[in-house]
Structure 1
């Protein structure tokens, strides 16, 4: 986390790459709690699961030797203060300390953050797209980016 004047200025959420699958699968328990709590219906969750299944093909496999950044976020007005760079630098350091060979993340190709990641030394490993999502919904391709640590 990045804090500025006592307020959250940014957040990086990352972990040992293969843990992504374990954490994703844990969402099944959360879904049941949403239905039991009346915050979601079974048809809503089925529709969400169908979209998630379709979108899951956009994400390349996360190898065992990678630290995976699931989210890196800084509010737009604060992006000029270097919080994103510091958060990413800290994630790279954490990846190195954990013994990983690389840090990886996924980002939509039309996201301005692509240029930021490139400026920080990440490179595009692969680009994936779903013809159905692209054609029917204008969904951009997904980029897997990496930096060796």
Structure 2
């Protein structure tokens, strides 16, 4: 089985967290699951559609989220990342706040036909885009794919 996380390079906090969760969940299974990264604007990423980060979608759609609030949340998340294991619940809460701030961009991405990062693919099927999936969601997708 193969899991691909498409994101920015270097990874933003959302892409980083998605990749980290995918690796952690994959390690809980006995079968061999390869978890890898693919950067936006690469052939690997382009196989799944038009993939873009929030900034690029904002420019393409001429839409701007609350940049001040977004910057504050990203700075807070970067600080919390230093002790990820200890701060996991707080990181989740801040990520949910960030999702709200990014809502106008996520909506525009769908309107324009983009997959917004982070994008998670399991066995060549896009399972999520534009948000950080929970470990439970990732586990369920792996279990479904394992039964095929």
TM-score bin, normalised by smaller chain: under 0.3
Largest Rg, 1 or 2:
1
Scaled by the length of structure 1, what TM-score is found?
A: 0.25
TM-score, normalised relative to structure 2: 0.25
**Which has more strand, going by share of residues?**
1
Q: Which has the higher contact order (CA 8 A, sep 6+)?
A: 2
